[in-house]
Structure 1
Amino acid sequence: MARTTKKTKKPAHSNRKYIVGFWTLFLIGILASVFIFLLAGWGAFGKMPSFDELENPETNLATEIFSSDGKTLGKYYSENRTPIKYEDLPDHLVQALVATEDERFYQHAGIDAKGTLRAAVYLGTRGGASTITQQLAKQLFTEDVAQNDFERVFQKVKEWVISTRLERQYTKEEIITMYFNKYDFVYQAVGIRSASKIYFDKEPRELKIEESAVLVGMLKNSALYNPMRRPELVKSRRNQVFEQMNRNGFISETEMDSLQNLPMKIEFTPEGHDEGMATYFRAYLQGFMKDWIKDNPKPDGSEYSLYSDGLKIYTSIDSKMQEYAENAVTKHIANLQKEFDRQNEKNPTAPFRDLDKSQIENSIQSAMRVSARWKKMKAQGKSEEEIRKSFEEDAEMRVFSWKGIKDTVMTPRDSILYYKAFLQAGMMSMVPQTGEVKAWVGGINFKHFKYEHVKQGKRQVGSTFKPFVYATAIDQLKFSPCDTLPKSKFTIEAGKHGNMNDWAPRNSDGEYDGMYTLKKALASSVNTITARLIDKTGPEPVIDLIGKLGIDTRNIPAVPSIALGTADINLFEMVSAYSTFANQGVYIKPVMVNRIEDKNGTVLYQNVPETRDVLSKEAAYVTINLLEGVTQGGSGTRLRGVWGTNNAFYKTAMTGYPYDLKNPIAGKTGTTQNQSDGWFMGMVPDLVTGVWVGAEDRAVHFPTITYGQGATMALPIWGMYMKDVYADPDLKVSKEAFERPENLSIAVDCANYGSSKETDNSVPDELDF
């Protein structure tokens, strides 16, 4: 009989140690995890944000420049970020973000437990676990510097701790807003507002759903999903966003299919300092702001940062008028350059004229010394011989051309000659009653030609100076436009009015016969009559007048020859001076900045107009009446669609002709010696605009007066600009007559004035000097 073995049952207490051990390890794990989180919160794994930092996260905010009509002209920044509010985000943008990046965003408190568990089980192959809040935490307060898995674990712990703090401190809407405001979309597009402007040229609230999907798709990796480099990849990613929106019930399947079939349209509008609208004005404004910042510290005594404090600068510039001005300059100068290049084809010293070899070499050497190449090599400790040699060596470079940027190979020395051959332009438009500058064009291309021709550049003003002489005679001697003076030769002898030698100006047409009314004399720009006027007034009163008109007179000698415009004056001063005539004799200092605010909207600066009485209303109006004669019977008649006998000469240069402007216009053309500078100053009752055209070097110019006069070089820009301005009903620029003062004692109607019966219609269309 077999013996049965009975199993002995282990007592219950024998498993206790395993149970106790398990729970002990479990509790230790929990406590260790809690302790790790506490250590992270205390900053043991790196600096953690304080309550204040959470309340006011440190971000670099761009200073934004606004036009008078509310458009963004540009920004100053170290990081191109301009924050917006949650209400400015379209619903479909927020929906796309939540559907794609964090489906349970509204259910969790900063950490998605389900997503974290899924990521752990599947080792991240079915999606990551970072919530929107965690991604924001990483952007705001941690740096992606983990070098190994161990460091990455502790970095993730920090993100979790910060995420929970963010969730306690902010609403879900605030977290989404901060996330969109912080993310870098590349191409200096930091934040959703910059991204919307740069990729679609619109505000976030104006984004279409397919555009929102592109930007949300970039959040995965903006460098990889770059629409400018990998458009097909970005389109595929955009369509994935639509799938996620459909999965989460934000769009139907039909809508998803329709949206996925749409082409991806990008309107790339970079916002670099060299790109965009009003680049020259923004460069001037940068200097203005730096001076203002020095004189206006923060309440705590520290300086505002132009590049990171999020200032808002509200300027006087009108975006439409600025656009029309830039278009006019571009169209005309590009066209005029073709003729200029054609006339230089057989010029052995091109682009220079009137210079010998040694003078040309001096000009080139001077340009070399101020070039970026010279300064950079000098800073590197290179010898002058090494630097000069580098200018003779071929180099690959990208150069400006009117047909677009051109890749070429040339020596840096040859590039100097290449760039000197380009005609430049300056243009400024101002409201005479308020001083507000509405358009400012400082050159033809800021990226390649940094020198600014509105305020920085001073050039001889030619016959545009003559109205100051006439205005002085009217103000002091009560001359009428109908008074007559002989056109004959005239000499101011040495010793008179500070003259060192006899001065006998010549008339541009070579004629010296007849009596001219002052109106006809100014319209025809008769030099001898202008000389007679300054002989009667003396040069000192003329200089005194222009000083009151805002022109810097320190380097203008008190000699009669200034009457013909020998002085160097900048366009900024000329426009403000002419504006005084249109403003009934009251000078008003030009205004570029109306208001400056901090990032919270607190007003830091408010412009206060600076004005002074310079001329009587009567003298100002009579001067305007004289200047109207230029567009009624002088070189300015081309604005009316009227030509002289030289019509064929101007077919190439007169871009946009005919202008066919019928309204009252007061103006003056100007041309300097050897055709180096062409000017036109034009006025209507509520807008004064000045234009200068010339080359960087005065020895670079047209060979003859045919194309080298102000009526051909500068006037067409004014004509095209004003045609566009008048065609825009929103601008409401006046077409009315200039306001005539009551009880005008100086006669301006010449039909029955004294013995002079000459009318404006008898004035020939002569060249202007």
Structure 2
Amino acid sequence: MLSLLAVRLRPHLRPRTLLLLPALCLLYVIVLIPFTPGIRDIRKAKVDQPAQIYSADGKLLAEFKPTHREWVSLKQISPNVVDALIATEDRRFHEHHGIDWRRTASAALHTFSGNRQGGSTLTQQLARNLYPDEVGRSQTLTRKLKEAITAFKIEAVYSKDEILETYLNTVPFLYNAYGIEMAARTYFGRSAGQLDVLESATLIGMLKGNSYYNPVINPERALDRRNIVLGQMVRFGHLAPATLDALKKRPLRIDFERQTEEPGRAPHFAQQLRKWLIAWADDHDFNIYSDGLLVRTTIDSRLQSMAMQSLMWQGNQLQSIANAAWGGRGGCANANGDLARAFVRETGEYRAARDAGANDADALKHLVADRSFMRTVCENKTRVQAAFLALDPRNGQIKAWVGSRDFTQDPFDHVQQARRQPGSTFKPFVYGAAFERGAMPTDTFIDQDVTIPVAGNETWHPTDEAPPSGRPVSLRDGIAYSKNRITAQLMQTVGPARVARLARNMGVRESPLDEVPSLALGTSPVTLKEMVSAYGSIANDGNYMEPLLVTRIENRQGDVLAQFDSTPERALSVDAAHKLIDVMRDVVNRGTGSTIRTRFGIRADVAGKTGTTQDNADGWFILMHPQLVAGAWVGFNDSRVTLRSDYWGQGAHSALPMVGDFTQRALRSHLIDARARFDLQAPPGAWQTAVTRLRDWIDQTFGKSSKPTAPKPGQTATQKPVRVKRAPAEPEAQVTEEAPQQPPVFQTMPPLLPTASDAASEAPASAP
């Protein structure tokens, strides 16, 4: 009964149904429009507008691109590429408005008959490539409709040439090569404008399936596909038919080379900045790859170049020493067999041999006998590494940042990522904590054997290169000559907890510090960035300034979006900071860092500290100038490897030359003022200022001015004497004015026992 009724009603419903279906389809399309990219997004996506990173002196340091791509205009692309693309992918490209209805209908018929074909135009493919998240990639009707809507929008905004240019610059070609320019360089070693017909056909042929038609690993498939593209070019009038047979017989002639991104002027700095900028952009609704941000950094490109040159110069010399120490290139097996075998056991080749069933002896014997393998292992392990950082202590702005000897060889950043024992460069925190408690540079300790009890019924016995003299040594001499026994006794007096707290306040804020007596000699690993930042606090009258990477961020129109500066935080009293600078001057005037004066001829007002760790695994030196603090670290990625020299392994001979050469260059270039001096005069207090003003008022009011005085030579009777603020004497001749002598506070104070928080002591660091 129901079926009979349906048959009778069907002719009456047919016209309504025919009208209803298009209406429903149209409604569905309208519903999908808000879920496709808007016109504003499409305008932004026409070309990449990556964040551009500029130095403080206006030099381009880097561009943050999402992929390895170099944008070229359509005029810079060979016409052969465009002809091959249109003939193969969209022959009616210049006739349609985003969708080729004839091709779409033909593809649908073939698909329904079991022969699946694609009907997307270049504009639709571009929509899918630019907006994979919004359009999607699933083979559904919804995805095709979104793709078509987006294609219409693109055609409404851009010309055909602009669409072709954008398409060719955004399509992927494997091996991290995006766009036709990088593809041309990767597969043929030339630019996109130099591609001939065969090369153009090969690259366009890859678009059907990059991996399947990869000319590097599937040359036969790539050749067949290239010839199909050539046939299409002939069919649609882009190539003369007479040339086809000859062209098809030509080989591929691939000249493959992976393209590497240029490291730039400050690659490690840019690497760290990218992380920071991504977080900032996410918080403020910006995209570092497309919003055209202009980032003004604190780096000075001139100082950056000097730092890289100094590090390369000294690093190469140290590498020669390391090669000799380890038996020449690839000779670590001869220099230290046990350690070389340990290196081998850590390789993937050794693990593969063991997984294949070889025992330890056989795997080692086979690999050690492979000279090429051992050369690679030894060169990697015995490659000298170094890091360098310089900042302005007055505002915390980082001026130079070098994270390794060669970014392309070792992108690991030894400035911020590597934590190494600082050795004696940590000692200023001990002396600073003592000066904070009232100690004077003239206070003394006896140079004698020291045994300090630590937790677990153990003792710590710090030593120096020279045996104990039994004589009193002042704190000034203790830091100048980096006396471990004197520093250890001072540590007993002030306590590890107080020293660790001061180090954190001054800049060592990320690395954990073990509050044990041996902390005095730098046994807790820290980063170079933390140490240079902390020395900046010393140079800045005890005020900590957070290290600054960026001064401001602008949009592409030059409008300022954000500005950044550091706020001073009191970490050490002014008086203690001045005492610390004064005694650290002696390090470079006559102590372990004296080659700053004797070898590099630096006469400016500077102070610093050397540092060396156990077995000479790490060499450090940090130098303070009123306008610039610079520090260097030297070592190996594997701390088991050292320079194997008691001379070259010391920070005074490994790291100091980098800082000395850099500072010498900066002074000669007048990027820092050779006449600048640390102002070690304490500012007058409020009471002293008031008394001085009152005295001046009394002098002016009650008679001193009523009695004319004879003019001084060269001064007329109408001139008034001018009070001139004299600069302090040169560092070598400076005399520090001390308070009246009192019994040394720290000599008479009994040593403090370790607190309950003291853990087991680590091995002491060697004296630099």
TM-score by length of 2: 0.61
Which structure 2 residues correspond to residues 361-376 of structure 1 after superposition, within 5 A?
A: 361-366=341-346, 368=347
Which residue number corresponds to residue 53 of structure 2? 65
Which residue number corresponds to residue 92 of structure 2? 154
Matched, 1:674 2:615: yes
Which structure 2 residues correspond to residues 448-597 of structure 1 after superposition, within 5 A?
A: 448-476=409-437, 478-492=438-452, 494=453, 500-552=457-509, 555-597=512-554
Say which SS state the counterpart of residue 439 (structure 2) adopts: coil
Which residue number corresponds to residue 327 of structure 1? 309
Which structure 2 residues correspond to residues 580-659 of structure 1 after superposition, within 5 A?
A: 580-599=537-556, 601=558, 603-641=560-598, 658-659=599-600
Q: CA deviation at 1:593?
A: 2.4
Which residue number corresponds to residue 698 of structure 2? none
Say which SS state the counterpart of residue 434 (structure 1) adopts: coil
Please tell me the root mean square deviation across aligned C-alpha atoms, in Å: 4.9
Matched, 1:287 2:275: yes
Q: CA deviation at 1:570?
A: 0.9
Q: CA deviation at 1:221?
A: 9.3
Structure 1 Cα separation of the partners of residues 672 and 292 of structure 2: 33
Output the amino acid matched with 1:341. N
Cα distance, 1:537–1:453 mapped onto 2, change above 3 Å = same
Which residue number corresponds to residue 624 of structure 2? 683
Output the amino acid matched with 2:505. K
- 8 Å contact kept, 1:668–1:680: yes
Q: CA deviation at 1:309?
A: 4.4
Cα distance, 1:554–1:686 mapped onto 2, change above 3 Å = closer
Q: CA deviation at 1:536?
A: 1.1
Which residue number corresponds to residue 759 of structure 2? none
Structure 2 Cα separation of the partners of residues 630 and 500 of structure 1: 36
Q: CA deviation at 1:76?
A: 2.3
Structure 2 Cα separation of the partners of residues 56 and 167 of structure 1: 15
Which residue number corresponds to residue 406 of structure 1? none
- 8 Å contact kept, 2:52–2:294: yes
Cα distance, 1:533–1:499 mapped onto 2, change above 3 Å = farther
Structure 1 Cα separation of the partners of residues 321 and 482 of structure 2: 26
Cα distance, 1:63–1:630 mapped onto 2, change above 3 Å = same
Which residue number corresponds to residue 681 of structure 2? 741
Structure 1 Cα separation of the partners of residues 575 and 738 of structure 2: 20
Which residue number corresponds to residue 74 of structure 1? 62
- 8 Å contact kept, 1:624–1:666: yes
Cα distance, 1:461–1:169 mapped onto 2, change above 3 Å = closer
Structure 2 Cα separation of the partners of residues 223 and 475 of structure 1: 73
Say which SS state the counterpart of residue 609 (structure 2) adopts: strand
Which residue number corresponds to residue 36 of structure 1? none
Counterpart among 406, 418, 429 of residue 445 in structure 1: 406
Which structure 2 residues correspond to residues 289-368 of structure 1 after superposition, within 5 A?
A: 289-294=277-282, 296=283, 298=285, 304-345=286-327, 350=332, 357=338, 360-366=340-346, 368=347
Cα distance, 1:216–1:563 mapped onto 2, change above 3 Å = closer
Say which SS state the counterpart of residue 679 (structure 1) adopts: strand
Structure 2 Cα separation of the partners of residues 363 and 394 of structure 1: 11
Say which SS state the counterpart of residue 707 (structure 1) adopts: coil
Structure 1 Cα separation of the partners of residues 507 and 359 of structure 2: 43
Which residue number corresponds to residue 42 of structure 1? none
Name stretches of at least 5 consecutive residues in structure 1 with no aligned partner: 1-47, 85-93, 102-126, 199-213, 225-269, 299-303, 396-408, 642-657, 757-766
Q: CA deviation at 1:485?
A: 2.6
Which residue number corresponds to residue 717 of structure 1? 658
Matched, 1:726 2:686: no
Deviations 1:591-623 (A, max 9, x none): 112333455555554324243111111111110
Structure 1 Cα separation of the partners of residues 657 and 315 of structure 2: 10
Matched, 1:702 2:663: no
Cα distance, 1:360–1:521 mapped onto 2, change above 3 Å = same
Which residue number corresponds to residue 428 of structure 1? 389
Q: CA deviation at 1:50?
A: 9.0
Output the amino acid matched with 1:156. H
TM-score by length of 1: 0.61
Q: CA deviation at 1:751?
A: 8.0
Cα distance, 1:708–1:613 mapped onto 2, change above 3 Å = same
Say which SS state the counterpart of residue 705 (structure 1) adopts: coil
Cα distance, 1:69–1:394 mapped onto 2, change above 3 Å = farther
Which structure 2 residues correspond to residues 166-177 of structure 1 after superposition, within 5 A?
A: none
Which residue number corresponds to residue 238 of structure 1? none
Which structure 2 residues correspond to residues 43-58 of structure 1 after superposition, within 5 A?
A: 55-56=43-44, 58=46
- 8 Å contact kept, 2:331–2:378: no
- 8 Å contact kept, 2:45–2:290: no
Say which SS state the counterpart of residue 566 (structure 2) adopts: coil
Could you tell me the percent identity over the aligned residues?
Answer: 28
- 8 Å contact kept, 2:327–2:334: no
Structure 1 Cα separation of the partners of residues 500 and 396 of structure 2: 22
Say which SS state the counterpart of residue 332 (structure 2) adopts: coil
Q: CA deviation at 1:52?
A: 5.7
Output the amino acid matched with 1:315. T
Structure 2 Cα separation of the partners of residues 597 and 81 of structure 1: 24
Cα distance, 1:349–1:596 mapped onto 2, change above 3 Å = same
Output the amino acid matched with 2:92. F
Cα distance, 1:614–1:223 mapped onto 2, change above 3 Å = farther
Q: CA deviation at 1:710?
A: 0.5
Name stretches of at least 5 consecutive residues in structure 2 with no aligned partner: 1-35, 100-122, 124-152, 201-257, 686-733, 743-765
- 8 Å contact kept, 1:75–1:271: no
Say which SS state the counterpart of residue 706 (structure 1) adopts: coil
Say which SS state the counterpart of residue 669 (structure 1) adopts: strand
Q: CA deviation at 1:439?
A: 0.7
